[in-house]
């Protein structure tokens, strides 16, 4: 700032100096003109050039008097002009300095705001959130009150970014920020931490129920579908919650533990979780597994397990569902719930799906060579549905293993379809045109409309296990199962009930007209060798047996 003012002042001084030099030059020229004019006049009047003749010419010639005044006029003009230029330059210096100071102040304010506020949403950023959380903790310590810290992460945001582009992702972030502002009011704080993660501070909290009530309000606000450029997006989020002073007395610890709880909520798909110390141990293990998963896929440390789907009318195995397991060298057999959410979060889910396709179709080809034709079902992720090249990938895998397309069934969930319904429909249509069968998994737990379901080129509905397992104790669940079976049949679809754990489950399903059953009542998921043994035992006996060796109860169909 000071250097700029000095430059302007120096330039003004240079202008003033230049004006003074011009006026001196003008004086010099006018004096020379006077001398020449005086000599010429004296010579014309007296035919000689002398001091006396020059003086005489000056006395008698009025024109020379006017010429004699020129040096004084130039001197006055030079002084006046230089003074005016100096005045104007000084005014310019003042104006420019004032403007520069105003601009600098604005830049300083902008820079200051940039260090405390998020540029995309204008919400407080992590720095400001931590400062406010520290102040809230100090106040709560004095007043003996409580503070809640929430960390929110948008579900399936990576899929939105990858499929629709970062511009759409940014618009989703801004829309979520807008909706959170509508729910979170002063003196509470909502901030954007990073990417699709937000932090929330709730001050002077009464009970844990107050925080959970607000979580429900947040979920409801986000649940309203978002329409961007003709695409309907269903937005949901996972939240982790910590409380001061129960879960920590330091801002960093509270935020970190809320993040741990959020990750577990995302992994378990439970919506939200309140932090417990047990989660810390789970998180440490999860972080370790996350770093090893890519290596496990490359090194073929995974294993495919198969669970049969049984025709309720005949007891015949109609198909098997391929389920991935991780044979970890330290932790043993890692269940899918422990690593599939990690694969989705880290972008490894496409590689995982491809591995399962190759492995299950390799086994399918072996069964074909043995003369045992069996359809194999593979689960798809949201990323697979949003990948426009996925049908070509499936075709290549089928051709590589020489397996007919009708022997492959792909299972998708309602929630994965609704991330981008239009693109999902395009992918499913392309898969169906290849002769691949399609199934809607976990039906009844998503948010798809019946009108949209009727447009899907699917062949099968799978009733979610939560309804099937509790049919005997919950009449409403039994009604839902019956309604789903009727709906599926009216749409020309086969209906599968998963979660058949007991004979009573099967007994209740049979008169409802359900086509297929799957669950631990028949057998747990088995690796290929175990499955072949189990299948061989049933073929040898001539009648299907469950895991305890009991004969299946197949009622005659009306």
- CATH 3.30.70.270, the chain: domain bounds: 126-275
Mean pLDDT of 465-475: 86
pLDDT band per the 50, 70, 90 thresholds, residue 361: very high
pLDDT over 60 at 104, yes or no: no
Strands (E), 259-365: 272-274, 302-311, 317-328, 332-334
Peptide bond into 187 cis (omega under 30): yes
Peptide bond into 325 cis (omega under 30): no
**Residue 88, both tokens:** 């104007």
Give the mean pLDDT of the chain.
80
514 and 487 Cβ atoms separated by less than 8 Å: no
| Alpha-helix runs per DSSP H in 402-502 | 414-417, 421-433, 450-453, 465-469, 475-490
Q: What is the dihedral of CA 429, 431, 436, 437, to 10 degrees?
A: -50
Mean pLDDT of 498-511: 89
Most confident of 18-22, 373-377, 412-416: 373-377
CA dihedral (117, 119, 123, 125) positive or negative: negative
Q: How far apart are CA 293 and CA 258, in angstroms?
A: 24
Could you tell me which of 165, 153, 179, 180 has the C-alpha nearest to residue 228? 165
Residue 229 confidence (pLDDT): 66
Residue 9 confidence (pLDDT): 55
Looking at the domain that runs over 126-275, which CATH code has it been given? 3.30.70.270
Query: Percentage of the chain surpassing pLDDT 70?
Result: 71
Run of H or E including 191: strand 189-194
List of residues 6+ apart from 235 with CB closer than 8 A: 154, 155, 172, 175, 176, 222, 223, 224, 225, 226
Q: How far apart are CA 305 and CA 477, in angstroms?
A: 29
Q: How far apart are CA 266 and CA 239, in angstroms?
A: 8
More confident residue, 195 or 51: 195
Residue 260 confidence (pLDDT): 86
**431 phi and psi angles, rounded to 5 deg:** -65, -45
pLDDT over 50 at 358, yes or no: yes
**147 phi and psi angles, rounded to 5 deg:** -135, 140
Q: How far apart are CA 271 and CA 265, in angstroms?
A: 6
3-state secondary structure (DSSP) of residue 554: coil
Q: How is residue 553 annotated by DSSP?
A: -
pLDDT over 90 at 87, yes or no: no
Q: How is residue 117 annotated by DSSP?
A: B
Q: How far apart are CA 256 and CA 130, in angstroms?
A: 11
Residue 490 confidence (pLDDT): 92
**Residue 120, both tokens:** 């995309």
Most confident of 79-83, 326-330, 358-362: 358-362
> How many of the other CB atoms lie within 10 Å of CB of 527?
14
Rg (CA), the chain: 42
More confident residue, 7 or 494: 494
Residue 211 confidence (pLDDT): 87
More confident residue, 57 or 314: 314
Residue 150 confidence (pLDDT): 95
pLDDT over 80 at 148, yes or no: yes
Mean pLDDT of 251-263: 89
Tell me the pLDDT tens digit for each residue of 282-313.
666 566 666 688 888 888 889 999 999 999 88
Residue 554 confidence (pLDDT): 45
Tell me the pLDDT tens digit for each residue of 191-209.
999 889 999 999 977 788 8
Tell me the pLDDT tens digit for each residue of 524-548.
999 999 999 988 877 655 445 555 5
More confident residue, 131 or 57: 131
Mean pLDDT of 405-430: 87
The answer to whether domain 285-458+522-541 has CATH 3.40.50.410 is: no
The residue assigned the tokens 């069996």 is: 374
Q: How far apart are CA 429 and CA 397, in angstroms?
A: 18
**Residue 6, both tokens:** 């000095």
Tell me the pLDDT tens digit for each residue of 207-234.
888 888 999 999 999 988 887 766 778 8
Cα separation values, 158 from 118, 383, 386, Å: 20, 9, 11
Mean pLDDT of 140-148: 91
Give, to the nearest 10 degrees, the angle between helix 70-114 and helix 2-46. 170
- CATH 3.20.20.450, the chain: domain bounds: 285-458+522-541
Give, to the nearest 10 degrees, the angle between helix 390-401 and helix 349-369. 30
Could you tell me which of 219, 314, 334, 315 has the C-alpha nearest to residue 270? 219
> How many of the other CB atoms lie within 10 Å of CB of 118?
19
Residue 300 confidence (pLDDT): 85
Could you tell me which of 262, 270, 277, 386 has the C-alpha nearest to residue 337? 270
Residue 420 confidence (pLDDT): 74
393 and 436 Cβ atoms separated by less than 8 Å: no
DSSP per position, 58-104: HHH-HHHHHHHTHHHHHHHHHHHHHHHHHHHHHHHHHHHHHHHHHHH
Q: Which of 8-17, 154-163, 171-180 has the lowest mean pLDDT?
A: 8-17
Residue 33 confidence (pLDDT): 62
Q: Which residues pair with 226 in a beta bridge?
A: 233
Residue 337 confidence (pLDDT): 78
Mean pLDDT of 90-105: 61
Q: How far apart are CA 65 and CA 421, in angstroms?
A: 100
Residue 449 confidence (pLDDT): 55
Does the pTM of the predicted model rise above 0.75? no
Q: How far apart are CA 315 and CA 332, in angstroms?
A: 34
């Amino acid at each position: 700032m000071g250097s700029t003012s000095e430059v302007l002042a120096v330039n003004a001084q240079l202008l003033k100096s230049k004006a003074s030099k011009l006026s001196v030059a003008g004086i010099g020229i006018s004096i020379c003109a006077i001398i020449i004019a005086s000599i010429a006049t004296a010579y014309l009047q007296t035919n000689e050039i002398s001091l006396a003749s020059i003086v005489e010419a000056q006395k008698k010639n009025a024109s020379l008097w006017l010429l004699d005044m020129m040096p004084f006029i130039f001197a006055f003009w030079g002084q006046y002009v230089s003074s005016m230029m100096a005045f104007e330059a000084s005014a310019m210096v003042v104006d420019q300095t004032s403007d520069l100071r105003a601009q600098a102040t604005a830049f300083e304010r902008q820079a200051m705001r940039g260090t405390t506020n998020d540029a995309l949403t204008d919400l407080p950023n992590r720095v400001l959130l931590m400062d406010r959380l520290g102040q809230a903790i100090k106040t709560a310590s004095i007043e003996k009150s409580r503070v809640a810290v929430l960390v929110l992460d948008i579900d399936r945001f990576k899929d939105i970014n990858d499929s629709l582009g970062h511009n759409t992702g940014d618009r989703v972030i801004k829309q979520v920020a807008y909706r959170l502002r509508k729910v979170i009011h002063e003196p509470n704080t909502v901030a954007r931490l990073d990417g699709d993660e937000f932090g929330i501070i709730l001050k002077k909290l009464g009970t844990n129920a107050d925080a959970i009530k607000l979580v429900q309000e947040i979920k409801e606000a986000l649940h309203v579908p978002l329409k961007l450029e003709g695409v309907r997006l269903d937005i949901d989020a996972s939240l982790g919650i910590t409380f001061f002073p129960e879960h920590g007395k330091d801002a960093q610890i509270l935020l970190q533990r809320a993040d741990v709880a959020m990750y577990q909520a995302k992994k378990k798909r439970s919506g939200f979780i309140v932090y417990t110390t047990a989660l810390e141990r789970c998180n440490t293990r999860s972080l370790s597994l996350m770093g090893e998963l890519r290596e496990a896929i490359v090194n073929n440390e995974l294993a495919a397990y198969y669970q049969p789907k049984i025709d309720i009318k005949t007891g015949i195995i109609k198909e098997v569902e391929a389920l991935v397991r991780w044979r970890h060298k330290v932790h043993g057999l890692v269940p899918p719930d422990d690593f599939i959410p990690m694969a989705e979060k880290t972008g490894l889910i496409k590689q995982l799906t491809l591995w399962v396709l190759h492995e299950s179709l390799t086994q399918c080809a072996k069964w074909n060579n043995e003369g045992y034709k069996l359809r194999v079902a593979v689960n798809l992720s949201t990323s697979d549905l949003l990948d426009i090249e996925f049908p070509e990938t499936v075709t290549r895998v089928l051709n590589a293993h020489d397996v007919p397309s009708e022997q492959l069934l792909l299972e998708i969930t309602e929630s994965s379809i609704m991330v981008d319904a239009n693109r999902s429909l395009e992918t499913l249509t392309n898969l169906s045109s290849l002769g691949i069968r399609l199934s809607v998994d976990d039906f009844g737990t998503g948010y798809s409309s019946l009108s949209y379901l009727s447009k899907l080129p699917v062949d099968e509905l799978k009733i979610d296990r939560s309804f099937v397992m509790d049919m005997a104790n919950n009449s409403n669940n039994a009604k839902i199962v019956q309604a789903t079976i009727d709906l599926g049949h009216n749409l020309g679809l086969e209906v599968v009930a998963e979660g058949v754990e007991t004979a009573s489950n099967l007994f209740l399903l049979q008169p409802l007209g359900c086509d297929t059953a799957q669950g631990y009542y028949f057998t747990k998921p088995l690796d290929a060798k175990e499955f072949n043994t189990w299948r061989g035992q049933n073929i040898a006996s001539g009648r299907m047996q469950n895991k305890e060796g009991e004969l299946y109860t197949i009622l005659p169909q009306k």
